[in-house]
Structures are given as structure tokens and as C-alpha cells.
Amino acid sequence: MSSLSDRQEHQKLSTIPKNFKVVLFIGLVLLGISVVASLAFGSRWVSVHELMEGLFYQNTDSYGGNVVRKRVPRTVFSLFCGAALGVSGALMQAVTRNPIADPSILGVNMGASLFVVCGITFLQITTANQYIWLALVGAMITAVFVFSIGSMGRGGATPLKLVLAGAATSAALSSLVTAIMLPRSYVMDQFRFWQVGSVGSANWDGIMLFIPFLIVGILIGFLTAPALNALALGDEVASVMGIRTGILRLMAAVAAVLLCGATTALAGPIGFVGLLSAHVIRLILGPNLRYIIPLSALSGAIILTISDCIGRLLGGTGELEVGVVTAFTGAPILILLAMKLRVRSL
């Protein structure tokens, strides 16, 4: 009976979801709408004429055209960060077999934050290039620590133990960050805007620095997707199919940490995007990661870009940081998912 069930599950993972093309089409339409909204809306709305002027007539020196041109790197950066967080969430959920895994829930974002604030305090770092390496180291160490703690005891790394380990680690690291910052007002001033999570400071230099990490992380995600599908059937089944489960988990985890660590370094700890994008796509398309990963990238880009646009609209002459918007929308959804799913494994 178990063998028959495994064969049926394997067949489900090897077929194209029926509604894949429909979901892809809707996703591309929403992506286009989110891009236009990000370029057009904010503290200063622009007309269609000004939008076209800003995008296609670079020599025109109108106020509206300049506003659009200044929003272009911000829009591109939000798309890239959302895609990275979406894929990172999908990979973390696959590796941990936890349907509500997310960089923020497992404490990875806070680990990156701790290393960045330590770098600002003790090493006097000031550039994005320095932030990104420290954040990656912090994210990697935290991910290993949380998974090790969650794997202790009976039953190994269960979804509930991983969430609890992540929450406890995140709380402890948050206390350390506060303890380092409080006596040093200059560190607090430099760190507080980054800590909220924002894409408002985007520039082309930061985007070019981010692109290699994005490409490598997503590429590893695509390459490991078929093996991760087999891992979803259980470690024993995956081993019988010739998959080295330990190496596979390590590669997928490295890709996930690479994506969320680089995003956290440049945009701050933005939470819940990976959880929402990957989980929604899984509910619609099913468990096949060959389709979940690319569409998680697409949905993550949409969610973050729309959230950034909402933050600008709600902020009036200022703006509400995107990390605040995603937290307000993501936290209630996380509670509903936890209640509905009872934190069961994938």
C-alpha cells in the first residue's frame, strides 16, 4: 500500500499541473500591473504621458519624467528582492518539510541583522558590499544553528520544533541586537532605517551587486527541484532513487540562505514574503517544485512590489516601509495557516 502511495505521489510530482498556464498568465498580468503601479503611484502620482516620457524619452527634463526615472531602480530592486525571497521560502519549506517555513520565521533574517549591526559597531562598515558578506555569514550560521537545535531529540527536525527553535533564536538575537545598539546612538541611527526593511534606497550599484547572488541562488533552486520532489516522498525513497539527501539539503539550504541573506543585507529584514508566495503557489498548483520555484519567484516579486506601492500610498508625503506592510498582512495569514494546518509537515 505504501509503495502504491509513493508511486501515485511520484506520478503527481512528474506531471504538469493542469492550471499552470492559467496561473502563469495571471501572474504575468499582475506583474505588469504591479510594475506600472510602482512607477506611477507614490507621494507624487504621474500621468500616462509622464510615465511614457520618463521611460522612453530620456532627454526630456520634466518633473514627472524625472520622478518616473528615479522610481525605476526601486521597482527593479523590489522585483528582484521579492523573487529572491519567494524562491528562498519555497526552498526552505522543501528542505525542512515545513509548510510555514520562511527566513523570518526561522530566525535567518535576524541572524543576518546581528552580523550587520556588529559590523557597523565594531568594524565601522558603511558600504553595501560589506553588508552583504556579513549578512550572508550571519544568515548561514543562524540557519545551521536553528536546524541543529530543531533536529535534537526524538523525531528529528519536525516542523513544530523548527518553528519553535527559530522563534527562540530570533528572540535571543533580537535582544543581542538591541543590547549592542542602545548604548551607541550613532549605530542606532545608521541601523534603524535598515532594520525596518525597505527598498527605498535602491540604486543601480546595489542592484548590480545583488544580481550574481540572485542568479546563483535561483539556478541552484532550479537544479535541485527534481531531487527535492523525490525528497518530499521521504528520505528512504529518495535514497533508493540514488539521491544523497544530506548533500541535497545542504545545497538547497545554501541557495535559500544566499537569496535571503543577500536580500536582507541590501533591503533589511523583510518578512513573510517567502511564506506567502511559496505557500499560495503550492495551494494552487500542488507539490511539484519544478513549477513552485519559478512561480514563487513571480508571486514574490508581485507581493513585494505591490506592498511597496501600498506603503507609499499610505504614507502620504512620506512612506510606510515595505517591511511594515508585509508584516501587517503576513502575520494574520501566518496565524490562520498555523491554525488550519496545525503545523503539519509537507
Q: Which CATH number does the domain housing residue 308 bear? A: 1.10.3470.10
In the chain, which ranges are continuous DSSP H helix?
Answer: 2-13, 20-40, 48-56, 63-96, 108-118, 128-151, 159-181, 185-196, 204-231, 235-240, 245-267, 273-285, 289-314, 322-341
Q: Quick: pLDDT tens for 206-230.
A: 899 899 999 999 999 999 998 888 8
Q: Does the pLDDT of residue 158 top 70, yes or no?
A: no
- In this prediction, residue 50 carries a pLDDT of 80
Phi, psi dihedral angles at 270 (to 5 degrees): -90, 120
Average pLDDT of span 92-112: 80
Inter-residue contact 168 to 38 (CB < 8 Å): no
28 domain-assigned: no
How far out from the chain centre does Cα 49 lie?
Answer: 34
- In this prediction, residue 80 carries a pLDDT of 95
8 domain-assigned: no
Please give the residue range of the domain that contains residue 156.
45-341
HSE, side-chain direction, 13 A CA sphere, residue 319? 21
Higher pLDDT, 11 or 77: 77
37 domain-assigned: no
176 domain-assigned: yes
129 domain-assigned: yes
34: pLDDT confidence band, cut at 50, 70 and 90?
very high
219 domain-assigned: yes
6 domain-assigned: no
194: pLDDT confidence band, cut at 50, 70 and 90?
low
- In this prediction, residue 82 carries a pLDDT of 94
Indicate the number of domains in the chain.
1
265 domain-assigned: yes
How far is the C-alpha of 327 from the C-alpha of 204, rounded, in Å? 27
Give, as one character, the DSSP assignment of residue 212.
H
Inter-residue contact 222 to 293 (CB < 8 Å): yes
